[in-house]
Amino acid sequence: MSKERQFDNFDENVENYEELCDSAVKKSGGTREYFSEYKISEISQYEDCTEGLNILDFGCGDGSSSVYLRKYFSESNIFGTDVSKTSVKIASNKQIYNATFISYDGSKFPFEDSKFDVVFTSMVFHHIQHKLHAGILSEIYRVLKKGGRFYNFEHNPINPITRKLVNECELDKYAVLLQPSYTKKVTNKNGLKTTNLNYTLFFPRHKFFKIFLGLEKMLSWCPIGAQYYIRAIK
C-alpha cells in the first residue's frame, strides 16, 4: 500500500473475506454475523422500525449489514454503496428483498439530495485516509433529509484488546483507528449534530461472560468498550 492510501483495497481479499472476518473475531466468542446484527439492533432502539424509511448502508461491502437492516426494518428501502465493485456485486447477488447496491467513485454518492432518512456505516472510516473524511461527511449531509440520522460505528482505540485484534487482522493491516473525540468533532464540523456517543461490547461473548452482557446497556457511557458509535442528526 502506497503512502497515498485513500481507501483500503478489499477487492484483494474478497475471495476469503468471510473467513478472515470470522478468524479476526473468534477470540471474542462472537461471529461476524453476530457483530453485524448487534449494530443494527443498537440503531433500531432509536428508530420506528415499522416506518418505511430510506436507509443507506455506506461502505456496505458484501451486504452483511444490509441483511440485518432488512430483518429489523422490514418496511424500509435499503440502499448500499461501496468503492469495492467486487463487494457490491456479491451484495447484489444475495438478492436481499428491496435492497439496491451501487458502487461509487469515492467522491460523490450516486444518490440525489435529501434522499435518506438514515445513513448507517460500520467500521468504514478507519479504512479511509483522514483528509477524505470531511468530503464524505459532506456527502452524507447532502443525501440525508432534514432531520435525518447518521450512525457511525468504529473500533475504540482506547481498548487494548481492540488494538490487539485489529493489529492481528489481515483486513485491518492499513487501518488507522479513530479516537471517539475525533469522530465526534469531524462529524459536527461537517454540519451534523451529534446527539449520542455510546460505547459497546464490554465483555467477551464466551459462555462464561453471558451473564454479564445485560449490563452493557448501563455501561454505554464508559469509554473502555471495544467499539463505539455516534448518532448525529442533520
pLDDT score recorded for residue 92: 96
pLDDT score recorded for residue 120: 98
Q: Dump pLDDT digits (tens) for 144-181.
A: 999 999 999 999 999 999 998 888 877 788 889 999 99
In a domain, 25, yes or no: yes
Q: Which three cell numbers stand for residue 76?
A: 424500509
pLDDT score recorded for residue 170: 76
Q: Which three cell numbers stand for residue 156?
A: 475504540
Task: Name residues whose C-beta falls within 8 Å of residue 230's C-beta, 6 or more positions apart in sequence.
Answer: 150, 151, 152, 180, 183, 184, 187, 194, 196, 197, 198
47 vs 207, which has greater pLDDT?
47
Residue 6 has pLDDT above 90, yes or no: no
pLDDT score recorded for residue 63: 94
pLDDT score recorded for residue 189: 96
151 residue type, one letter = Y
Residue 97 has pLDDT above 50, yes or no: yes
Q: What is the mean pLDDT of the chain?
A: 89
pLDDT score recorded for residue 150: 98
Task: Please give the residue range of the domain that contains residue 147.
Answer: 11-233
Q: With pLDDT > 70 as the criterion, what percentage of the chain qualifies?
A: 87
In a domain, 3, yes or no: no
What confidence category does residue 9 fall into, taking pLDDT thresholds of 50, 70 and 90? low
Q: Dump pLDDT digits (tens) for 173-194.
A: 888 999 999 999 999 999 999 9
In a domain, 1, yes or no: no
210 vs 98, which has greater pLDDT?
98
In a domain, 4, yes or no: no
Residue 93 has pLDDT above 80, yes or no: yes
In a domain, 6, yes or no: no
pLDDT score recorded for residue 210: 74
Q: How many CB atoms lie within 10 A of CB 45?
A: 8
Residue 12 has pLDDT above 80, yes or no: no
Domain tally, the chain = 1
CATH number of 109's domain: 3.40.50.150
Name which of 12-21, 47-56, 78-87, 184-193 the model is least confident about: 12-21
In a domain, 157, yes or no: yes
In a domain, 49, yes or no: yes
Averaged pLDDT for residues 61-88 = 95
Averaged pLDDT for residues 17-33 = 61
* Residues forming a β-bridge with 17: none
In a domain, 2, yes or no: no
Coil, helix or strand at residue 218: helix
pLDDT score recorded for residue 1: 38
DSSP 161-217: HHHHHHHH-GGGTT-----HHHHHHHHHHTT-EEEEEEEE--S--SGGGGGGGGGGG
Averaged pLDDT for residues 123-143 = 95
pTM: 0.90
Contact in structure between 169 and 214 (CB atoms under 8 Å): no
